[in-house]
Amino acid sequence: MTYIQKNKNRITLIVIVLILISAFTAFLLEKRFIHSTVDIDCKVYPYKLSVGDTLFFADKTSFSAFKKWEFGDGNVSVIDSGYHFYKKPGFYQVTLTLNDKYSKTFSIEVLSGGRKGIVMDSITTIEAPIQAMQFENVIFRAKSPNAKLFSWKFGESGTIDSKEQMVIYAYKNPGDYVVTLYTEETAYPITHKIKVLPSFKVLSDSTAIEDVYKEIDEDFKSRLQQIANGSNFNANYNYLLDKYLCKNENVATKVNTSKINTFYYYCAGLQFDKKSSIQSVKVGFDENLNCVTKVEITQSK
């Protein structure tokens, strides 16, 4: 074998060895590079925080040449780990993108009101009106993210009245009551005050009913006259609205047997018509005798 042939064989062998080494190195590097989202080793916490609180983020993925954190509020970071602060409440998507190809996303909720928001979000509360009519079906709802067991006392029977999360209850007697709710999540009971106004259908004696209607008509007349005289509009208007109209501002109101308006617009105009004299008022009720549904007024200037 000639010298030249030996050198050719030696060179060929070296090239083969180099190719094998390169292939093996590429194989090892291939194993260590990212191929999918599963290979991304990162974390973000907490998932729920308040405005001004700290959001921590960190990426420990090996061999990630380039990384980009996007926080959903227009801010971006390219560091491995750090902290971020949100200025406004809302829902945000935090996304880490590696090598401009693979990404991982986290959903973050930002509450308003500082740390108090997180605490208040876990407290059980009662959702119910503060005023109702006797015999009216009133809805009471327990708002709780964690509680599963509920016990209601509505202050009338003295015993547990229901064990459901949402309850419909009708008071048999008028008065001021304290509603009490017990759950397995609260150390002390939750309370709610409600005022129950008398229903006019409880009177069976016709003379008594006439007296009650007359009393209501006179009460209406007195309050409307005070508005016409320039007295506190809100106090007198809200008194009639809450006590008799069941908060319905659109009750039909007829003036001097011809002009018809809503109760709100009539009262709004009355406060500027200070020469009006309310001579009489006649009200009409719904079929359950709970709410005034029409008002007839006779007035002069």
Return the CATH fold of 122-198: Immunoglobulin-like (2.60.40)
Task: Provide the residue ranges of all domains of the chain, joining segments of one domain with +.
Answer: 37-118, 122-198, 205-300
Fold agreement (37-118, 205-300):
no
Mean pLDDT for 253-270 is 84
Q: Name which CATH class applies to 205-300.
A: alpha beta
What is the structure's pLDDT at 6? 52
- Phi, psi (5° rounding) for residue 36? -160, 175
Q: 90 φ, ψ to 5°?
A: 150, -175
- H/E stretch holding 9 reads helix 3-32
Cross-strand partners of 57: 44, 82
pLDDT in tens, 48-73: 888 878 888 988 887 666 788 999 98
Checking if the pLDDT of 180 tops 90, the result is: yes
- Across the range 175-203, mean pLDDT stands at 83
| Three-state SS letters, 122-147 | CCCEEECCCEEECCCEEEEEEECCCC
SS3 content of the chain, % helix, strand, coil (to 5): 30, 35, 35
Q: In terms of CATH, what superfamily is 37-118? A: Immunoglobulins (2.60.40.10)
Work out the pLDDT band at 115, boundaries 50, 70, 90.
very low
Are 239 and 226 in contact by the 8 Å Cβ rule? The answer is no
pLDDT at 20: 66
Q: How long a stretch of residues is the chain? A: 301
